[in-house]
Amino acid sequence: MPEFDFESVANQVEWEFFLFKLVVDEEDVIFDPRPGTTAPTYVTRSTDDGRTWSVPVRLHREWTGDLRNMIVISKGTVVLSSMQLWNSPGRHVMLTYSSKDHGQTWPRSNFIDLGGNGHHDGAVEGTIVELKGGRIWMLIRTNWDVFWEAFSEDEGVSWRTIRPSKIEASSSPGQLRRLKSGRLVLFWNRLMPTGWKTYPRMGGLKSTNSPQWSSVAASASREELSVAFSDDEGQSWTRPVVVAARNDQVSYPEVFEVRPGTMWVTSGYGKLRAIIHESDFLPTNRAAESPKP
């Protein structure tokens, strides 16, 4: 029985289910931050409500971090946000896989390579959502105090507009979702906890405690998980609200809208299990700019 760390999508027409990042061979997984490290990404498919699954197909062998989400866009294409660890210098790059044939084939996009040098540097763990005009928007974890953003005009086949966003964030991934109301919701770890003016940094070429982390010193603030909403496709957001706090970390949020306006929220770290109601946060003063601590 293979172990797996999965994201699943139910196709609303044929109710097909997909799983990704299965560990089908433990000998094929190497976690050391050095050349040759691997954590492959596989895909398998079920058309009978998960009772049986197809033979896993490997999308790539390179080490892969957390797969933040996959989406079914309005045209029916399934788009998966993924990443790879590269070497010389060591850094992560983002990419997407898309399927227009119900999971039979998964062509990949171009790579989003932002540079960097370290086992936690580069473009990491991006989260995606389809915008109302048909573009796909990706928010990418970086060590540069903001999410970087990328846009695809062709259903995830290519990413041509790549730039820093205006959303301040620590070196930690967010979760971006489209709600039934049409609003966007973002759960993420802000640059530093509420009320803090500075925050300890890790990594950087001059670091004495974590020199292999990244080429620049980054905030790893994860004590608070915040949420914000947007009703203008991410141009502006409600003021961030802290929904969970711990002394160590509450991070890697996962969001499922179980019914319109009601979200189940969990976290990969911090053991958060919460029910969040959209109506509790709206409509209040919406900030004129993107969310900041």
Predicted local confidence at residue 9, as pLDDT: 56
Mean pLDDT, rounded, for 268-275: 96
Mean pLDDT, rounded, for 256-285: 92
Report pLDDT digits (tens) over 169-225. Answer: 999 999 999 999 999 999 999 999 999 999 999 888 777 777 788 999 999 999 999
Q: Higher-confidence residue: 204 or 265?
A: 265
Mean pLDDT, rounded, for 21-30: 58
Question: What is the rounded average pLDDT for all residues in the chain?
Answer: 88
Spatial contact of 63 and 39, defined as CB atoms under 8 Å apart: yes
Predicted local confidence at residue 32, as pLDDT: 60
Spell out the residues 6+ positions from residue 90 whose beta carbon is closer than 8 angstroms to its own. 33, 117, 118, 119, 121
Please tell me the CATH code under which domain 1-168 is placed: 2.120.10.10
Predicted local confidence at residue 213, as pLDDT: 84
How far is the CA of 48 from the CAs of 21, 159, 208, 209, 239, in angstroms? 20, 34, 53, 50, 43
Spatial contact of 162 and 96, defined as CB atoms under 8 Å apart: no
Predicted local confidence at residue 26, as pLDDT: 56
How far is 69 from 82, CA to CA, in rounded Å? Answer: 9
Predicted local confidence at residue 204, as pLDDT: 87
Spatial contact of 93 and 113, defined as CB atoms under 8 Å apart: yes
pLDDT tier, 287 (very low <50, low <70, confident <90, very high otherwise): very low
AA letter at 222: R
How far is 205 from 213, CA to CA, in rounded Å? Answer: 9
pTM over 0.85? The answer is yes
| 16-30, 47-61, 113-127, 198-212: range with highest mean pLDDT | 113-127
Beta-bridge partners for 219: 201
Q: Is the pLDDT of residue 244 over 90?
A: yes
Domain coordinates in residue numbering, the chain: 1-168, 170-293
How far is the CA of 275 from the CAs of 7, 232, 255, 263, in angstroms? 20, 24, 10, 6
Predicted local confidence at residue 255, as pLDDT: 96
Predicted local confidence at residue 27, as pLDDT: 59
Predicted local confidence at residue 2, as pLDDT: 39
Q: Higher-confidence residue: 34 or 61?
A: 61
Count CB-CB contacts under 10 A for residue 155. Answer: 21
Mean pLDDT, rounded, for 91-104: 94
Predicted local confidence at residue 35, as pLDDT: 72
